[in-house]
Amino acid sequence: MMAEKQYRIGEFSQLVGLSTYTLRYYEDQGLILSQRDDNGVRFYTEHDIRWVGFILHLKGTGMRLNELKRYVKLRAEGDATIGERREMLQRIKNEAEAEIAERQLHLTVLEHKIKWYDEKQAHTIDDSETFHDYLQRFQD
């Protein structure tokens, strides 16, 4: 069986798009675990690339550091914590979806404001019409 490829921290840093400083910080926080070769030099594997990728997905959803640490701790405890991990991920997913919906609402208002400016400049709406009045057209 062929040994899994090993990456030193500099190469690994480039592969995952994180600075070596960030990788060391993640290690200090217990989010990732490096291995050491016979000379004590830190290295990572393909498995670590996938794991860091998943951590970055979790961070991208807005998961906070203390939540990430909790998730990693539960994962290390094994399959008995799957229910708790699933519940945690579901809660994070729900929060992320709520944030997306809120951002979409903000984008819709921005789109209306831009259109209002366009129509003001094109003189296709009355000069006295306020943005508030303009928005009323789109209310149910």
CA distances from 21 to 17, 26, 40, 43, 50 (A): 12, 9, 18, 15, 19
Number of separate domains in the chain = 1
User: Is residue 57 within 8 Å of residue 51, measured between CB atoms?
Assistant: no
Domain that includes residue 35, residue range = 1-62
118 pLDDT more than 80:
yes
Residue 109 in domain: no
- Please spell the DSSP secondary structure of 55-100, one letter per residue: HHHHHHTT--HHHHHHHHHHHHH-GGGHHHHHHHHHHHHHHHHHHH
Q: Which residues pair with 35 in a beta bridge?
A: 43
pLDDT, tens digit (0-9, with 9 covering 90-100), for 66-85: 999 999 999 999 999 999 99
Residue 78 in domain: no
Tokens of 114: 């831009």
Residue 16 in domain: yes
Q: Give me the percent of the chain exceeding a pLDDT of 90.
A: 74
Residue linked to tokens 């009045």: 133
Quick one: average pLDDT of 51-79?
94
Residue 35 in domain: yes
CB neighbour list of residue 33: distance below 8 Å, 6 or more residues apart: 27
CATH of the domain at 30: 1.10.1660.10
Count Cα neighbours of 41 within 13 Å in the Cβ-side half-sphere. Answer: 8
For the entire predicted model, the pTM comes to 0.74
Give the 3-state secondary structure of residue 43.
Answer: strand
